[in-house]
Amino acid sequence: MISTHFLANLLEQVSRRLHAQGHVLDLFPAQWAALRYISRMPSETRTSSDLARYQGQEHGSVARTVQTLVAKG
């Protein structure tokens, strides 16, 4: 049986590695999350409002993330 301490440490290590990879190509983790959402969802749900609902965030911050991604091409 795997201990909860072991699982907690493993999750922490995975989380740190994912966070570090999120800064690749001058993109922040939130921007990568937005790109993953956009790539997986049908076109009718690829709006900043839908993304905000999906991520449980305010529309304004998600809209800024989308604007930044558009500016970056």
CA distances from 22 to 4, 10, 58, 65, 70 (A): 27, 18, 21, 14, 18
Quote the pLDDT of residue 16: 85
Q: What is the domain count for the chain?
A: 1
Quote the pLDDT of residue 67: 94
The model's confidence at residue 4, banded by pLDDT at 50, 70 and 90, is very high
Q: What is the pLDDT of residues 8-63, one digit of tens each?
A: 999 999 888 877 776 767 888 889 889 999 999 999 999 999 999 999 999 999 99
Quote the pLDDT of residue 22: 65
For the entire predicted model, the pTM comes to 0.68
Residue numbers of the domain that contains 59: 4-72
For the chain, what is the largest distance between any 2 Cα atoms, rounded to a whole number of angstroms? 49
